[in-house]
Structure 1
Amino acid sequence: MLSFLKKAPKETFADLLKVDIHSHLIPGIDDGSPDMETSLHFLGKLSELGYKKVITTPHIMTDFHPNDSKTILSGLTALKSELKAKGINIEVEAAAEYFLDTTFEKLLAEGDILSFGAKKYVLVEMSFIQSTPNFEEIIFNLLTKGYTPILAHPERYTYWQENSRVFRHIQDLGCLMQVNIPSLLGYYGKPVKNLAIQMIKSGYIDFLGTDLHHIRHLDLFIEGKHNSEINALVKKYDFKNHLLL
């Protein structure tokens, strides 16, 4: 009879975002989830955190993860079947995290690109050692073909940490940007966290993503699910994640 006195559950950043656009949950095809059991466990926990939908994005990287649309979509079909069988209530789609190399340019020329959302978003990444020399040309070609590029985790490219003006240039090119939630939780160190927050406050960041690979990431999200700093950022700044629901 005193149930009305109970406090409402605290919101998590996942409750607020609703949709994750960056993870590695197709089992056994990249450096993310190694098997179906792990994928199901991770997706169940993401659902418990408050996510309603996950757009998982396996790597396509010539030298290390030579996936293609067929391997990814086949893996997605198997994953969705198991989710249904286990009664795990979360919507799952798949695209890819494309490394910007000559293979990507070939796939783009052939029209063999996995995108998501009505605006045909394409998640791309670069080397952590140096930027892609023809980055601007690739972004232009993506836009010309009707895609909307999203640069994954720009806060982690150390060669840009002393040149924040580059982010305005990337934005001016028409390329959106996505910060990793582990960056905001300090997983990659204080300089990366500070840059991520600075970029968000400067209006450069359109999406947040888990970039979920392994159990250490998942434990981080569970421990930090009520992190007041992240929740304040998500409430104040207009991230586009929820628009993909």
Structure 2
Amino acid sequence: MSSDFTDYHCHLLPALDDGAVDLRESLDMARTLCSFGFATVHCTPHLIRGGYENEPARVIRAVHIMQRRLDEEGIPLHLVPGNEHYLDQYLPEMLPGALRAGTSRYLLVEVPFHAGTELLRPMVQTFSRHGLAPLIAHPERCAAFDPATAGGGFRVALSLVFGKEPEHQMGDSEIVALKRLGCRFQGNLGSFAGYYGYEVRERALLFLRHGLYSCLGTDAHRGEHLWDMLVAGYAVVESVLGEQESRDLLRGTHLANGA
């Protein structure tokens, strides 16, 4: 396995949100990620007003502390501070000074799982005014991007049920339109492994086949079963894309190139 993968979405930092509960679990997760081939991990605790108040300064401090512990333990992971920004009415006021995905102009954004599409295009416009663009976390898990209910209609619904490609090429779907407007999309390895159910897995495969993902992430919250999830998810991605393209996706090559 390669040793230069980048995890763009991970809840590795201990006791900040619903991710790792303590330092021991964080270190176990870090060892697993490193063994699998990750060299860089974007630490992206939730930032939700009234829920998880993980402001940038708090995350940066936690990353510095965790990085020192990894170095002391001899775990060769490079940590990058970030957030999983919740798409709600408070997000626009957080954009100045928000933590981006590394040095890029992208911010990791979680769309509410059951939200419709009405929030999405205004979000793109708001981000653009700040010189930013959304990196949407796990769109395969979000109703707003379900091609069976938006744009694709009955034909795509049948394709998901029977495992066939839709007749059209998703050109009229919301996710394709948003990508044209500058959004980028991060897929969860666990989605390909079936960890969120059959429908999510099928949507993830559909998006993967149509080249809609710019990067992948573990979205790891727990150390338990993490290795099995990584192996199973990567095997599915590689079966669709082949070895080289799969590794490029896990390196974040497309996101770095703006694709």
**Normalising by the residue count of structure 1, what TM-score does the alignment of the two structures yield?**
0.85
- Identical residues among aligned pairs (%): 27
Asked if 1:186 is matched to 2:171, the reply is: no
CA drift at 1:148: 2.8
Q: Aligned in 2, Cα 1:102/1:225: closer, same or farther, shift over 3 Å?
A: closer
- In structure 1, the residue matched to 2:238 is 231
Residues 45-124 of structure 1 mapped to structure 2, 5 A cutoff: 45-108=32-95, 111-124=96-109
2:34 matched to 1:27?
no
Q: Secondary structure at the match of 2:10?
A: coil
Q: What residue in structure 1 maps to residue 183 of structure 2?
A: 175
Corresponding residue of 2:110: 125
Distance 2:194 2:214 in 1: 20
CA distance in 2, matches of 1:66, 1:131: 25
Q: Compared with structure 1, are the counterparts of its residues 240 and 181 closer, same or farther at alpha carbon in structure 2 (3 Å cutoff)? A: closer
Where does structure 1 lack aligned partners over 5 or more consecutive residues?
1-10
1:94 and 1:73 map into 2 onto residues whose CA distance is 6
Query: Aligned equivalents of 2:68 and 2:196: distance in 1?
Result: 35
> Offset at 1:217?
5.0
Q: CA deviation at 1:240?
A: 6.9
Q: Which runs of 5+ in 2 are unaligned?
A: 153-172
Secondary structure of the structure 1 residue equivalent to 2:202: helix
| Two-structure CA RMSD over aligned residues (Å) | 2.2
Q: Is 1:136 matched up with 2:121?
A: yes
Q: Within 1, Cα distance between the matches of 2:121 and 2:50?
A: 23
Aligned to 2:135: 150
Q: CA deviation at 1:168?
A: 1.0
Structure 2 match to 1:241: 251
- Partner-residue secondary structure (3-state), 2:186: strand
Amino acid at match of 2:126: N
Q: Offset of 1:127 from its aligned partner?
A: 1.1
The residue type paired with residue 114 of structure 2 is I
Cα deviation 1:10-45 (Å, max 9, x = unaligned):
x3xxx2871110000111110001111111111111
CA distance in 2, matches of 1:17, 1:152: 21
**1:197 alignment counterpart:** 205
Counterpart CA distance in 1 for 2:24 and 2:202 is 35
8 Å contact 1:140–1:173 — kept in the other structure? no
Q: Give the equivalent residue in structure 2 for 1:207.
A: 215
- Aligned to 1:63, the other structure's residue is in SS state coil
Partner in structure 2 of residue 3 of structure 1 = none
Residue type of the alignment partner of 2:217 = G
Asked whether the 8 Å contact 1:33–1:214 carries over to 2, the reply is yes
Alignment length, in residue pairs? 228
Contact map agreement 1:25 1:39 (CA 8 A) in 2: yes
Does the CA contact (< 8 Å) of 1:21 and 1:241 recur in 2?
Answer: no
Q: Distance in 1 between matches of 2:8 and 2:183?
A: 16
